[in-house]
Amino acid sequence: MKCMIARRAFLGAALAGAIALQISPAFAQAEYPNQPIRMILGFAPGASLDAMARLMAEPMAEYLGQPVIVENRTGASGNLAAEYVARSKPDGYTILFTGSGGIVVNPATYTNLNFDPIKDFTHIGSLGNADIMMAVHPSVPAKTISELVDLTKQDPKRYKYGTSGAGNTMHVVTELFKQRTGAQIEGVHYRGQGPLTPDLLANQVQISFGTPGDFRSHIEAGALRGLFVMSPRRIAVLPDVATASEMGFPELNRRGWWGWHAARGVPQPIVDKIRAAIARGQTHPVVSEKLRAMGVELEPEAQADFIRRIEDTLKAYKDIASAANIRIQ
Amino acid sequence: METLQNLVMGMGLAITPTNLLFAFIGSLLGTLIGVLPGIGPLATISMLLSLTVALDPVTSLIMLSAIFYGAQYGGSTTAILCNLPGEATSVITAVDGHQMALKGRAGAALATAALSSLIAGCIATALIALLAPPLARFALNFNAPEIFALMSLGLLACVIFSPGSFLKALAMALLGVLLGLVGSDVETGAQRMTLGLAELSDGLSVVSLAIGLFGLNEIISNLSRPDGRQVATQSLNRLWLSRKDFGAMLPAALRGTALGSILGVLPGGGMTLSTFASYMLERRIAKDPGEFGQGAIQGVAGPEAANNAAAQTSFIPLLTLGIPASPIMALLLGAMIIQGIQPGADVMIKRPDLFWGLIASMWVGNAMLVIINLPMIGMWVRLLRVPYDILFPAIVIFCCIGSYSIGASALDLVIMAAFTGVGTFALAVGYPLVPLLLGFVLGPLAEENLRRAMSLANGDVAVFIERPVSAAIIAVMVLLMLSFVIPMLRRARSANSEA
Amino acid sequence: MLAVKNSRDLVAGSILAIVGLTTAYLGKGLSFGTLSRMGSGFLPNTLSWIVVGLGALILLRSLFVTDDAPEWPRLRPFAFICLGPVLFALLIGPLGLMPTIMVVAAFVRCATPQKITPRTFVFPAALAAGCAFVFVYLLNLPIPLWF
């Protein structure tokens, strides 16, 4: 029994930090926020989204004076979490943190969602952007987009693409690439980037879209080659990889992002307060450095711009998905 | 020589007071969450991830890794004491481990699990130090055709070696595969057999399935016996292993280590597969296979060693290539990225302190785990003496919380209850449960990789025999089938000639 | 005239066949695909019918091979243990962790005949307090303690 008590005391000490972070001074405040804020995620602990949310939760809680509790409601590629938040009370105490996939890609590729990404949400603000790039196996001789397209046309069965999931952002940009360039490639889908990378390194699939973080170390080791990035400028971590615009395909420019959303109808003062809390996290010296290391390009954005971006991207992705007949049930 | 120097350098890092402290905290926390059903290292590590930001990268990785392999130690405890596997990897430990506990050998079973894990952990860590890069390159040869062949081999062996009716074992394995296919299809996103429930789109939870089938089911059968639960209590005090036990345990643990070390490097279900593979191997080569299922010490030592060896070697693809072979490894990859370390082929060169410090800490951590766990055996064994009318409701509550904690889903609890019923029914009419679980874990991987292999080969079936590794695995499958069918035919023929 | 030689296989085979037919029914809308592009229904459908076939074989065997009768568990523990988690699922949302544990622990304990003693009340409360400490305070699980 003695050993049991010592054990508990020890664990208690070890985790005191964890608890301290969650319990901020709980003064009774008449105005928002006067109770803990729940940040809902559609992915399990372990996803990079989860790590970002937990990083941001601390400075946000500090600013708001209330705990920000990260809650994972997993299922259906994040759609369950989005639906849950869309149906919650618009009081600012339940907010959704998601990548652009959950708000503009899934609504374009899934046929039976129970929420409307425009009508059901108050789009609060974004954290930052994510670059997207194409990497190929070094055995692919093409150095430019046009060369690759010609190769695939000569032998449509020779080169295969792999995506990190059917109906996700990378699947949609792969279809965008096929539609805008006329490349003739077939491919397979994986359960995330983890199982895809070994097959790409082993030349089982030759072409894949992903984030610079997915490919960077393999490109530096010479195991993969970055063909192009879909950003307006070259990116800092891989300065040798040309942009799609440089290769004459500016229409391939796409970026993803991460942002916060709540149910439709949150009063503007509350939205502003959450936005200020987000800004505190974006400028927090330690947190911002960690986020950059995870591949987040922190960029302040006005709420109106955020909303416009969501609407434009959603329309574009819906067009791509319907042309490619991507219909996830 | 260089390896030795590096190891000395790593050891110097691992035994600094801070790193020792955090290795200890990690091991302890890992043991605790391993003991509790459902609460896995995945959830714990991710909750601690943001806390470790403040720590030095080496320290943070040492602690997070210790939680992971500590959980593998702890997982065997409830499996042995209550037939309650908290994860798929401890299902097979429960089979003989729990029988040992019922026969009053709980202490010996727990000691076997701890010592086998220690042996496996130390050897597998040495393998990482010596052979990580070649092993990682070997693992890259395992693509869709090989994974499909390997998973099929695992299922075939499980069905053939299952005691009792072949037909029933086969039926349960296939049923397990069907249950594993519930959820959205990787290739098309189509919802399969989900009854229109969005909560089922990620499939049935393996924890709910395992807890229901084995843990809760055990309670029902205990309560159904007219004389109540039978635990031989007279010899409970004998905690340590006899010389004979030790002689049976050691070779099994070494064989389990070998199997686990190889399968752990491979992507996907390597850890679970290695425990089952080790159990089947031990029963196949045992002098008295009838002892298996009745409390054979090799049936605990082999799988526990395999599990822990696989847990260690699953670090290899992450540390040498930056490829996470499992969700846990993906999490540790995330931890490295948060610390500003870009994992990849050059981690060993760019951050030797991280690589060798982590490896050295694995030895330290494994030693600590044994030091933590051995004294606790006495306490665990005393747990069996708690009156059952107190113990069983507590187990049910732990199972409920554990199952609920994974996804905050009420449906997971209903699934757990449903599989309690399925397990009870299956046992009543003589269906074995282990093939069901293995089919559930391996089946979806086999299907996914079969379809991927066919797509990538443009529909050419020859891909399975043109590639050397997959051809070799298929050859083993054919041999296994022949070794099963030929004696059966012979028996049938001699029966005919007699008639 | 054929007689059933063992009721165990009779039950086992027929249930298996029914399960196979059910999964075949559930998977009937899925596309079968081709060998080079197997559809989402390729394996579910094939396996379902194999399972139906195995069920039929086991059913057939009940006519020829003798075996023991099924060993059914007692109804009382079966019902209480299976319904415990369902009760937990129903209560955890509206009630929170502490009351749920107390109610479910008291309920599950009825799987065996119980006399009402002080233990009947003390045990669920103590269990709830212990769980709250381990799961919520120590492991920091995001489950509300009270409604």
Average pLDDT for chain A: 86
In chain C, the residue whose alpha carbon lies closest to the alpha carbon of B223 is C77
Q: Which residues contact B93 (CB under 8 A, 6 or more apart)?
A: B75, B76, B79, B80, B85, B113, B275, B300, B303, B304, B307
Q: What is residue B414's three-state secondary structure?
A: helix
The helices-and-strands tally (H runs, E runs) of chain A is 12, 11
Give the span between the Cα atoms of B145 and B143, in whole angstroms: 6
Q: Which of C15, C31, C61 is the last residue of a domain?
A: C61
Question: Does any CB of chain A come closer than 8 Å to the CB of residue B189?
Answer: yes
List CB contacts (< 8 A) between B340 and chain A. 289-290, 293
CB atoms within 10 A of CB B348: 16
**What are the phi and psi torsion angles at A258 (to 5°)?**
-125, 145
Which of C51, C73, C131 is closest, CB to CB, to B221? C73
Residues of C with CB under 8 A from a CB of A: 137-140, 142
Mutate to test the interface with C, among B36, B214, B400 (most CBs of C within 10 A): B400
Residues of chain A with CATH 3.40.190.150: 33-130+257-324
pLDDT value of residue A4 = 36
B50 to chain A, any CB pair closer than 8 A? The answer is: yes
Query: What is the pLDDT, as a whole number, of residue C56?
Result: 95
CB contact (8 A) between residue B401 and residue C15: no
Neighbours of chain B (3+ CB pairs under 8 A): A, C
Domain count across chain B? 1
B7, B359 Cβ separation under 8 angstroms:
yes
The total number of structural domains in chain C stands at 2
Whether residue C21 is contained in a domain is answered as yes
Residue C143 lies in a domain: no
C84 and C117 housed in the same domain: yes
Q: In whole angstroms, what is the distance from residue B58 CA to residue B65 CA?
A: 11
- Minimal-distance CA residue of chain A relative to B145: A204
Residue A210, beta-bridge partner list: A133
Is B428's CB within 8 Å of C72's CB? yes
CA distance C138 to chain A (A): 6
CATH for A33-130+257-324 is 3.40.190.150
How many CB atoms are located within 10 Å of the residue B418 CB? 17
Which residue is closest to A9 within chain C, CA to CA?
C138
Res A317: pLDDT: 94
**If phi over 0 gives left and psi between -120 and 50 gives alpha, with beta otherwise, what is residue B408?**
left
Instruction: Select the residue of B47, B397, B414 nearest C104 (Cβ to Cβ).
Output: B397
A1 touches chain C (CB under 8 A): no
Mapping DSSP onto H, E and C, the string for A232-265 reads CCCECCECCCCECCCCCCHHHCCCEEEEEEEECC
Q: Is residue B458 part of a domain?
A: no
- Report d(CA A231, CA A254) in Å as an integer: 6
Within 10 angstroms of residue B112's Cβ, the number of other Cβ atoms is 31
* C23-68 residue pLDDT tens: 999 988 888 888 888 889 999 999 999 999 999 999 998 888 887 7
Q: What is the pLDDT of residues C98-136, one digit of tens each?
A: 999 999 999 999 998 878 888 888 899 999 999 998 888
Interface test with A, best of B27, B44, B46, B319 (most A CBs within 10 A): B46
Q: Is A264 on the interface with B (CB under 8 A)?
A: no
Decide if A302 touches B, using CB distance below 8 A: no
- Best of C81, C109, C120 to mutate (most B CBs within 10 Å, chain B): C81
Task: Kindly list the residues from chain C whose CB atom is less than 8 angstroms away from the CB atom of residue A69.
Answer: 142
CB contact under 8 A, B177 and C26: no
Could you tell me which chains touch chain A, where touching means 3 or more CB pairs under 8 A?
B, C
Say yes or no for a CB contact (<8 Å) between B421 and C37.
no
Residue numbers in A near B48 (CB within 8 A): 18
Same-domain status, C80 and C57? no
User: Considering the domain boundaries, does residue C69 fall inside one?
Assistant: no
Any chain B CB within 8 A of the CB of A75? yes
Q: Provide the sign of the torsion angle of the four alpha carbons B159, B165, B167, B169, taken in this order.
A: negative
CB contact under 8 A, C138 and A71: no
Per residue in C66-78, pLDDT (tens digit) is 877 778 888 999 9
Q: Where are the beta strands (DSSP E) in chain A?
A: 37-41, 68-72, 94-99, 121-130, 133-136, 160-163, 186-189, 207-210, 225-229, 256-263, 297-298
**Quick check: B413 and C104 in contact, CB under 8 A?**
no
- Alpha-carbon gap: A246 to the closest alpha carbon of chain B (Å): 28
Q: In which order are the strands placed within the sheet that holds A133-136? A: A186-189, A160-163, A207-210, A133-136, A225-229
Considering CB atoms only, which of B39, B224, B417 is closest to C85?
B417
pLDDT confidence band for A45 (50 / 70 / 90): low
Smallest Cβ–Cβ distance between C142 and the set A12, A15, A69 belongs to A69
Pairing of strands A68-72, A121-130: unpaired
Size of interface B-C (CB pairs under 8 A): 198
Core vs surface per residue C23-40: b (16+ CB within 10 A) or e: bbebbeebeebeeebbbb
Residue C81 maps to a domain: yes
CA distances from A245 to A151, A250, A317, B213 (A): 20, 4, 20, 57
Judge whether C125 is closer than 8 Å to chain B, CB to CB. no
Whether C86 and C125 map to the same domain: the answer is: yes
Closest CA to B396 of C113, C132, C127: C127
Do C36 and C86 fall within a single domain?
no
| pLDDT at position A20 | 38
Closest partner residue to B198 among A3, A76, A157, by Cβ?
A76
Nearest to B408 among A10, A73, A77 (CB): A73
Tell me how far apart the alpha carbons of residues B107 and B380 are, in angstroms, rounded to a whole number.
8
**Cα–Cα distance, A1 to B107 (Å, whole number):** 17
Q: Give the pLDDT score at B466.
A: 93
Rounded CA-CA distance A249/A243 in Å is: 9
What pLDDT is stored for residue A68 in this prediction? Answer: 92
Contact predicate B196/C49, CB 8 Å:
no
Position C103 in a domain: yes
Intervals of CATH 3.40.190.10 along chain A: 133-252
pLDDT of residue B38: 76
Same structural domain, C119 and C94 = yes
Q: Which residue of chain A has the CA closest to B376?
A: A3
Q: Right CATH number for A133-252 from 3.40.50.2000, 3.40.190.10, 2.30.300.10, 1.10.357.10? A: 3.40.190.10
pLDDT at A10 over 70: no
Query: Mean pLDDT for each 10-residue chunk of chain B (499 residues)?
Result: 85 91 92 84 77 83 92 89 87 92 89 94 93 86 91 92 89 96 88 86 88 92 78 60 89 96 83 92 88 92 95 90 81 80 77 90 92 86 84 92 84 95 92 93 92 92 93 94 85 70
- Domain assignment present for residue C66? The answer is no
**Does residue A20 sit at the B interface (CB-CB below 8 Å)?**
no
- Domain residue limits at C101: 75-138
C43 and C90 in a single domain? The answer is no
- Residue listed under structure tokens 């399925």: B422
- In sign, the C-alpha dihedral spanning B193, B197, B200, B202 is positive
Min Cα–Cα distance to chain C from A12, Å: 6
Measured CA to CA, the distance from residue A161 to residue A175 in angstroms comes to 11
- DSSP letters along C52-118, please? HHHHHHHHHHTTT---PPP-PPPHHHHHHHHHHHHHHHHHHHHH-HHHHHHHHHHHHHTTS-----H
Residue A18 touches partner C, C-beta closer than 8 Å: yes
- Cis (ω within 30 of 0) for the bond into A33? yes
In a domain, B156, yes or no: no
- Whole domain around residue B70: which residue ranges? 2-142+214-410
Residues 100-129 of A with CB under 8 A from B: 109-110, 114
